[in-house]
Chain A
């Protein structure tokens, strides 16, 4: 862990974007998330780390109610977005997801052209006034997803025909195109080479100026590089949550320390 570049950034401790209190998640009888409290700040990158199966994805999916699509999944507790309970009956999950975008753990491009993949969100939400506008949005999103150069000549080709890493970036671009206020990214760089990873990390840094980003990652270096806040999950518990710098240099819990130094995984 010596090569970790922990960039010290001034984390302006502004308002809380998402506040979760006492969140429990059950898949049938499996208790996947146990009493998790987290405050996700606005204009901040928050990293979720932890061993495989500890519930990072599950918790992430709670934040935009994607768990609603799983029949056996039950969520308890309070999650507030800008002070409003997102599990309230009056909240429309569709509108919530427009505000809280998501990049999934496994790339899932639609079986449509690359262009239509990106244009999907903007079209649904009426973000473009005309075709030229839409073209511009698509190009901008693809550029931010660091994939523009690779696909600019074949925007009509099917998105499913891209390589795994390209699909992953396509999905990032697709999520960015709708301009969400919060972007949840589940291992967005798992299939990317170092250069593309760097570009995505730059994107995340850029997004931070306006949005808040939550990123799940298995790479300690990445968590250290891009995030200001880090949450460490273990067996469904939120073990430790704090400034990234503090988590990586001076962890309070021994489980955190063992994990980031590579002793448990």
Chain B
């Protein structure tokens, strides 16, 4: 039975459970809802949940476990002479799966009968040719043990599938029966349903947290690996970045860090004042009509993919800056279109809507009574904004700026296209520099050996970035939270 059907069946069972549970509770109370501990629909939901959760849980676990078990069984069938290490065993296993799939397709298309597929032998049939006819191309001729393993694989899969169907239905039915049996007018169905919902919510929350923990752990392990190969002191305090996969590379983070910092700084210098002024205009001065048009328009900017900004930097802003600050403009400060300034300006533009929409929300959260108080004392609008609204919103705005900063630090595409690839410690904003994020990309793309210091350094860089942005985010959250307490 296809899995979709199985799921539908369990759902149908759950719905039947809902109806039965509801009517059972009602009839138990003699049709008087006030006799029931909970509203009738809670009894129904209780049976519904008791059916769905065990059924679907068994299904999920089975789907995860079955391939692992079968994989273990089949791989023990492969003669040891056929592989040398775990890697080549995996290659053989993928051959097996491919042949098994091929047989499935052949049976489906009618090229082979079910019995043929089960009993076919390499000695008598050219498997590769037969499968080729139905469109399954195999790289080499099929070895006898591969075919046998593949046939076994098919059998085990089929059997496993039937057992799974049985197990899922049994679990669903058991839950169904148990919940239905316990349904009577005094049963606390409402509390039970609440509990289950609580469990679901906790499950969702912990999944999110666990994923984060997993990511962090993988970063940490790889970073530790890296520091085994490369001294931490040289990494954190080295002023040269020149990786070479031949060996003898210098992997100092400082030039990258400086690039990140410089680009972000320019971006914030652009984005913070403009974004803030825009927010003040929109929330304090703009009429409802202007606001209704301008605010969504500004937020569209936030939806533009960063690669588009990158192109804008490369093709428009870079040449423009060259005209003014480059050789042509007579200043000669700029050697090429890619520079810290190019990337910083464009990133600033990208951050404007981010800063303005966050600040706008925060400014709007300042109670109108505060403004009335100030206006009522004969203050002008701008005095009110400057002396009452902004100070009241300041902590929140600082939080918004820190969030913007952590976005700037993590930004990649604009920097790749706008700032160049040269790691450099320089004060000149018109020179090309590179940042931590772009180096992570370049260290991991290509044919690098993942066990080398040159590749692993990406994790150390990522970890450093992660710690910095995490710190900024926490700081921002603390500040924003503190600000919230003032009005609640």
Contacts and interface: CB of A to CB of B under 8 A. Distances in A.
Decide whether A and B are members of one complex.
Answer: yes
A164 interface: no
Interface residues of A, number: 29
Given A71-B288, A120-B387, A108 B378 contact: no
Interface in B363-388: 367-380, 383, 387-388
B378 A94 contact: yes
B378 A124 contact: yes
B378 A98 contact: yes
Given A97-B376, A97-B377, A98-B378, A69 B371 contact: yes
A104 interface: yes
A212 interface: no
Interface residues on B, range: 20 to 34
Given A124-B378, A171-B373, A160 B387 contact: no
Interface string A176-189: 00101000000000
A124 B379 contact: yes
Contacts of B373: 104, 108-110, 171, 174
Contacts of A71: 288
B166 interface: no
Interface in A199-221: none
Contacts of A69: 368, 371-372, 375
Contacts of B383: 124
A174 B371 CA distance: 14
Interface string A112-143: 10000000110011000000000000000000
B461 interface: no
Given A69-B371, A104-B372, A171-B373, A112 B379 contact: no
Given A104-B372, A171-B373, A178 B378 contact: yes
27 contacts: A66-B376, A69-B368, A94-B378, A97-B375, A97-B376, A97-B377, A98-B377, A98-B378, A101-B377, A101-B378, A104-B369, A104-B376, A108-B367, A110-B373, A110-B391, A110-B392, A111-B370, A111-B392, A120-B374, A120-B377, A121-B379, A124-B379, A124-B383, A160-B486, A174-B373, A174-B377, A180-B378
Closest 7 CB pairs of A and B: A98-B378, A108-B369, A102-B376, A108-B373, A121-B377, A97-B378, A111-B392
Interface of A: 64, 66, 69, 71, 94-99, 101-102, 104, 106, 108-112, 120-121, 124-125, 160, 171, 174-175, 178, 180
